[in-house]
Chain A
Amino acid sequence: MKLGYDDHVEAFRAEFRAWLADHAPSQEAMAADPARSSAHRPDWAKAWARRMFDDGWLVPGWEPGRGGRDAGPIETLVYLEELARAGVPRTTNPQGLGIVAPSLFDFGTPEQIRDYAMPVLRGERTACLGMSEPGAGSDLASLSTRAVVDGDDFVINGQKVWTSGANDADFCFLFCRTDPSAPKHKGISVVLVDMDTPGITVRPLAEIIHPDRAELAEVFFADVVVPRSNLVGRLNDGWAMANGSLAHERGMVWLMSVLELEEDVQELVAEASGQLARLGPIEQAVFADRIAGSYVDALAARALGYRGFAKLVRGGSAPEQALMKAFCSESHQRACLLGAELGADEGTDLGAPGHDPKTTCSWAERYFLSFASTISAGSSEIQRNIIAEKVLGLPRG
């Protein structure tokens, strides 16, 4: 164990930090035109993606032609730390960069890589992930959106829900049922669907905090025709990609979760003395204890994440990684609730007059929004089932 990094890693950090100082979009530019969803590309985001791609800083671990520089995992960690320190997002289309593009590199045809994956990397196109359905949430394999082979085409009918960024995305990485007679995990395929194809209707689903804030959407497919060449991987073999997708997602997301938790806990600690000053001694003590508890959570999230990461780098398995999603999202939820309760009457406000929840969120809003992380991408309860069976080896019920 050691706290610091080797010299060559620190040299890599210094190189990236210098590059960032020269090329990162300014906070003013980002604030003037914020991304309204996880598939929206403001002009600054397009230019930023292209610059990172061209200079090999988009996915440092990938090869130079794919926006990388063949960096190792520790360098990638340092790279993400530096992006966070600079307050610059790596992408405004995380599911495109983190899940869809890598899945296409693993399973797609050369044409799909050329027409879908590479444009995502260069900031020219954005992707959404069509997974959940009204009848298939945690039990994703029960999905029923149908894709029927018709000559050289698929004809798609059905409905997706909770689709992040569907309103802004250029195409969808769509999980659909291609063999209804097979066992549920064995009749699923993935098809690439351009979102401007006739027959697609996107209905934004306003989020819990505000009617105008709609990152999520329902997507309806009515006789949507896409060429059969848009099939990703083999027919009826899509479930492997559902597992693979989530592995890509979790592999990258833990550090972001740690950083988000740390940032909010730091804010909580910074606000605390002012908020506590107006309270009586017993209230102060109770709140102070909870604040320290959130501080321990944030420090633990970092220690746990880095410990798991170090195991992976050594080529071992890292059960800690399986714990990160539930732990970080639940810790974050506790911290946001604490912030709202500490604010007393202000805590019940969804924001001060003139407050715009599309750009900044009050503690109460953050608390409500925190459920996105405890529910989506495998709810906390599903995470516990997976850990119980896969990590602890407990028998299936």
Chain B
Amino acid sequence: MDLELSDEEAELRDNVRTVLAGICPPATVRSVFDGGDPPAALWGHLVELGWPALAIAEEHGGLGLGFVELALVAEELGRAVAPAPLLATTTQFAPAVRELGGAEIAARVLPGVAEGTTTGTLALAEGGRWSPDAVRTTARRIGDRWVLEGEKAAVLDGATADELVVIAGDGDALGAFLVAGADVKSVPRPGFDPTLPLADLRLDAVVVPVDRVLAEPGPGVEQALARAVQESTVAVAAMVAGACRAIFETTVEYATVREQYGRPIGSFQALKHRLVDMYLALERATALVYYAALAIAEDAPDRATAAAAAKAAAGDCQRLVAEDGLQLHGGIGFTWEHDLHFLLKRAKAGDALFGGAVAQRAALVGHLGVMA
């Protein structure tokens, strides 16, 4: 098992990092925190760069790269606190269409993602849980159409995405449906991280024609959904790890230059040990994120446990790194003017998405059969 980036992977990561530092500087992030809209120019840049096409199959106009590359991009999106629909579109919407839909619908929908003309997201969660058994939204067949009824919670880009994959059940099994964003009532959530905009959705008798049914309710849907959700989950874990790495680097730098009692505060052993614990939590999470990304890319048999472990570790990581990162910055980190809070909020918001550390460990308990 080789868990170090190849030269090509490292080059992609470095390139993404450099580009994002240029087109998404802290001032851009700050404009969103100060109440501005997500910058359209940033999304335009990302489309020009072809990033939405990265992991779309070549037959659908994409570059045909794999999930490892996508996870590396997600990590950098976290580091830059990028306010753009790239994460939801490429790691939630596209995998859901690919895993749940047939070849025909994928061929109709995914080229738009690759071109950057379609943004999308996955409307799965209800009641704060991203689990299939939390789904109460119903799908009823009426003639050759399906009618969806229910509420979805905390959908990333839920108020702005062009297209949604909505998960709904017929009472026996789950199905997946393609719904235009304009066809649902969305209520944006006033979240603490406006760069990761969530919305609650109300589906009032939304009619889905047969050619927009990704998967009729049936026994195979849950497994396909699980595969898609594993990608979404690990991508969010990567994003959290990326934000945490930036917090960590900034904190080490601060501890090296900030002086009190005539010496850098990073020379005090009490702080050294805390910084090493942050580093350990960060490397623990990063190694597991890379392992899970690889397990998904190579379709390993343990991809479900690897994904849950990666998100759990990312959750543990943000908890420690955000807390100690803020504490070690002292008063300056407590201010709106300092950029640190963008990262802290991105890390914490990411922990909640697709289930935090406790939810992931609960999933692992199920996978391991511990409660049998």
Interface residues of A (CB under 8 A from B): 1-5, 269, 272-273, 276, 284, 288-289, 291-293, 295-297, 299-300, 303-304, 306-307, 310-311, 314, 319-320, 323, 326-327, 381, 384-385, 387-389, 391-397
Please judge, given known A-B contacts A323-B279, A384-B272, A395-B267, whether A1 and B287 are in contact too, CB under 8 Å.
Answer: no
CA of A304 to CA of B284, assembled, Å: 6
Please judge, given known A-B contacts A3-B1, A289-B361, A303-B291, whether A395 and B279 are in contact too, CB under 8 Å.
Answer: no
Chain A residue numbers with a CB within 8 Å of B266 are 388, 394-395
Contact B272 A394 (CB under 8 A): yes
Contact A292 B4 (CB under 8 A): no
Comparing B21-29, B108-116, B364-372, the segment that makes contact with chain A is: B364-372
Q: Mark B235-273, 1 if CB is under 8 A from A, else 0.
A: 000000000000000001001100000011011110011
Q: Mark B88-101, 1 if CB is under 8 A from A, else 0.
A: 00000000000000
Total contacts A to B, CB within 8 angstroms? 150
Q: Which of B1-31 contact A (CB under 8 A)?
A: 1-6, 9
CA of A393 to CA of B293, assembled, Å: 30
Q: Which residue of B lies closest to A383 (CB)?
A: B276
Contact A394 B252 (CB under 8 A): yes
Contact B2 A310 (CB under 8 A): yes
CA of A293 to CA of B277, assembled, Å: 17
Is B49 engaged at the interface, CB distance under 8 Å to the other chain?
no
Contact A388 B276 (CB under 8 A): yes
* Interface residue from B3, B291, B365 paired with A288 (Cβ < 8 Å): B365
* Interface residue from A273, A310, A392, A393 paired with B372 (Cβ < 8 Å): A273
Contact A295 B4 (CB under 8 A): no
Chain B residue numbers with a CB within 8 Å of A389 are 272
Interface residues of B (CB under 8 A from A): 1-6, 9, 68, 252, 255-256, 263-264, 266-269, 272-273, 275-277, 279-280, 283-285, 287-288, 290-291, 293-295, 298, 300, 305-306, 309, 312-313, 316, 358, 360-362, 364-365, 368-372
Contact A292 B372 (CB under 8 A): no
Contact A1 B9 (CB under 8 A): yes
Chain B residue numbers with a CB within 8 Å of A4 are 1, 298
Q: Which residue of B lies closest to A276 (CB)?
A: B371
Q: How far is the CB of B42 from chain A (nearest CB, A)?
A: 29
Give 9 nearest A-B pairs by CB, closest first.
A310-B4, A292-B361, A388-B272, A303-B287, A307-B3, A292-B364, A394-B266, A395-B267, A303-B291
CA of A296 to CA of B358, assembled, Å: 12
Chain A residue numbers with a CB within 8 Å of B273 are 381, 384-385, 388
* Interface residue from B280, B293, B358 paired with A323 (Cβ < 8 Å): B280
Chain B residue numbers with a CB within 8 Å of A272 are 368, 370
Contact B313 A300 (CB under 8 A): yes
CA of A104 to CA of B6, assembled, Å: 36
- A-B pairs with beta carbons under 8 Å apart, 13 shown: A1-B294, A3-B294, A292-B361, A293-B312, A297-B284, A300-B288, A306-B3, A310-B3, A310-B4, A320-B287, A381-B273, A392-B252, A394-B256
Chain A residue numbers with a CB within 8 Å of B4 are 1, 307, 310-311, 314
CA of A391 to CA of B252, assembled, Å: 11
Chain A residue numbers with a CB within 8 Å of B309 are 295-296, 299-300
Chain B residue numbers with a CB within 8 Å of A393 are 252, 256
Please judge, given known A-B contacts A2-B298, A272-B370, A292-B368, whether A304 and B283 are in contact too, CB under 8 Å.
Answer: yes
Contact B275 A392 (CB under 8 A): yes
Q: Which residue of A lies closest to B282 (CB)?
A: A323
Chain A residue numbers with a CB within 8 Å of B293 are 1
Please judge, given known A-B contacts A314-B4, A394-B266, whether A384 and B276 are in contact too, CB under 8 Å.
Answer: yes
Contact A299 B288 (CB under 8 A): yes
Contact B371 A304 (CB under 8 A): no
* Interface residue from A3, A296, A381, A391 paired with B288 (Cβ < 8 Å): A296
Contact B2 A2 (CB under 8 A): yes
| Extra A-B contacts (9), CB below 8 Å, given A288-B361, A327-B280 | A3-B294, A269-B368, A288-B362, A291-B368, A293-B361, A296-B309, A311-B4, A388-B273, A394-B252
Contact B365 A394 (CB under 8 A): no
CA of A284 to CA of B362, assembled, Å: 11
CA of A393 to CA of B257, assembled, Å: 12
Q: Which residue of B lies closest to A281 (CB)?
A: B371
Chain B residue numbers with a CB within 8 Å of A384 are 272-273, 276-277
Q: How far is the CB of B206 from chain A (nearest CB, A)?
A: 37
Chain B residue numbers with a CB within 8 Å of A297 are 284
CA of A296 to CA of B312, assembled, Å: 8
Chain A residue numbers with a CB within 8 Å of B298 are 2-4
Chain B residue numbers with a CB within 8 Å of A303 are 3, 287-288, 290-291
Please judge, given known A-B contacts A2-B298, A300-B309, A384-B273, whether A391 and B279 are in contact too, CB under 8 Å.
Answer: yes
Contact A292 B267 (CB under 8 A): no
Contact A291 B370 (CB under 8 A): yes
Please judge, given known A-B contacts A296-B361, A303-B290, A396-B267, whether A288 and B370 are in contact too, CB under 8 Å.
Answer: yes
Please judge, given known A-B contacts A307-B290, A393-B256, whether A327 and B3 are in contact too, CB under 8 Å.
Answer: no
* Interface residue from A276, A293, A304, A385 paired with B272 (Cβ < 8 Å): A385
Q: Which among B280, B305, B360, B370 has the greatest number of chain A C-beta atoms within 10 A?
A: B370
Chain B residue numbers with a CB within 8 Å of A323 are 279-280, 283
Q: How far is the CB of A12 from chain B (nearest CB, A)?
A: 15
Q: Which residue of A lies closest to B364 (CB)?
A: A292
Chain B residue numbers with a CB within 8 Å of A387 are 276, 279
Q: How far is the CB of A292 from chain B (nearest CB, A)?
A: 4
CA of A392 to CA of B273, assembled, Å: 11
Q: Which residue of A lies closest to B278 (CB)?
A: A392
Chain B residue numbers with a CB within 8 Å of A306 are 1-3
Q: Which among A269, A319, A384 has the greatest number of chain B C-beta atoms within 10 A?
A: A384
Please judge, given known A-B contacts A3-B298, A292-B368, A388-B272, whether A394 and B287 are in contact too, CB under 8 Å.
Answer: no
* Interface residue from A3, A292, A392, A396 paired with B300 (Cβ < 8 Å): A3
CA of A151 to CA of B368, assembled, Å: 67
Contact A304 B287 (CB under 8 A): yes
Q: How far is the CB of A49 from chain B (nearest CB, A)?
A: 29
CA of A304 to CA of B1, assembled, Å: 11
Chain A residue numbers with a CB within 8 Å of B263 are 395, 397
Chain A residue numbers with a CB within 8 Å of B5 are 1
